[in-house]
Amino acid sequence: MHAEPVADATRLALGEGPVWDAPARRLRWIDIKEPRLFTLDQPADRIESVELDVVPGALIPCPDGRLVLASERGFELLDAATGRTSLLAPVEADRPDRRMNDGKCDPYGRPVAGTMQRAEPRQPGPLYRLEDDGGVQPILDGLAIPNGLDWPEPDRLWHIDTPTRRIDLYEYPEHGPLGRRIRSLDVSHLPGSPDGMTLDADGNLWVAFWDGGAVHCLSPEGRPLATVEVPVPRATSCAFGGPDLRTLYVTTARSAEHPLSGALFSVLPGVSGRRGGGQLEHGAQ
């Protein structure tokens, strides 16, 4: 399968965090290095953007319709119309050398995202969860570049720490830190490094590979099922969207030697995403 650039696709420095807004039939994603929020209005086939007032790491839709940004400051409430944010909870406020990275909302409606060093060497850090009382709890430590995450079941979490070149499945209790690591999928034989990911309706993993020019689909046991070739090397993340959730959208990062790098791509892979699997259900204003 081959992904194609979306019409009017804009080249982003570091495109990330695609999220499908089901009620409005829009896809949203961010540029981390040149902070902006992008919106693809699917019925109109038009891309619009707004400048963000903070460096983002992840765009996290919540079941109640809030759009939360994991940023260089912490967890923030985002106004999608203006790009303005208001801080919900600071994270590592005493560490300007770090910022938040990839994140999603857990099955209980709580935003989860990790932090990473802005530059080498990568000092390990935690995966954090924004609790219902407004506090922030570390739930997994020792991560260099925390990336793709998703929940196949409420009590299970897939998570990627990119330099390990594997995908780990953990026990995910409703409260407290993660439990034991149940399984690891070794993806070191695939070109590039695992970055963002999503799950389809059957629980299979769709993983974007940085410097791999592809999104690979794996069964929960690690069996290769499909490959989506992306015509630029730096695929960063992916999400299912469209009215029937049968379009896979892929974000990418810019590289000088590839004219389409940094654009948004899409493909029809023949499967559908999961309702509630990283989509906005009530719309964001």
Q: What pTM did the predictor assign? A: 0.94
Q: Is the peptide bond before 259 cis (omega within 30 degrees of 0)?
A: no
Q: Is residue 12 included in any domain, yes or no?
A: yes
Do residues 197 and 150 lie in contact, with contact meaning Cβ atoms separated by under 8 Å? yes
Q: State residue 282's pLDDT score.
A: 47
Read off the DSSP letter of residue 11. -
Q: Is residue 285 included in any domain, yes or no?
A: no
Cα-based torsion angle of the residue sequence 6, 8, 11, 14 in order, rounded to the nearest 10 degrees: -50
Sign of the C-alpha dihedral computed for residues 6, 10, 14 and 15 taken in this order: negative
Q: State residue 46's pLDDT score.
A: 84
Q: Is residue 82 included in any domain, yes or no?
A: yes
User: How far is 21 from 198, CA to CA, in rounded Å?
Assistant: 15
User: How far is 178 from 173, CA to CA, in rounded Å?
Assistant: 6
CB within 8 Å of 256: residues ≥ 6 apart: none
User: How far is 95 from 260, CA to CA, in rounded Å?
Assistant: 35
CATH of the domain at 209: 2.120.10.30
Strands 15-21 and 279-280, bridge-based pairing: parallel
Tokens of 205: 């993993």
User: How far is 246 from 230, CA to CA, in rounded Å?
Assistant: 17
Hey, which residues does 140 pair with through a beta bridge? 127
Domain range holding 264? Answer: 4-280
User: How far is 280 from 18, CA to CA, in rounded Å?
Assistant: 11
- C-alpha angle 29/166/184, rounded to 5°? 120
Size of the chain in residues: 285
Q: Structurally, how many domains does the chain consist of?
A: 1
Q: What is the pLDDT along the chain (285 residues), one digit of tens a residue?
A: 999 999 777 899 999 999 998 877 899 999 999 999 999 987 667 899 999 999 999 999 988 888 999 999 999 999 999 999 999 999 998 888 899 999 999 999 999 999 998 887 778 999 999 999 999 999 999 999 999 999 999 999 999 999 999 999 999 999 999 999 999 999 999 999 999 999 999 999 999 999 999 999 999 999 999 999 999 999 999 999 998 999 999 999 998 789 999 999 999 999 999 976 555 554 454
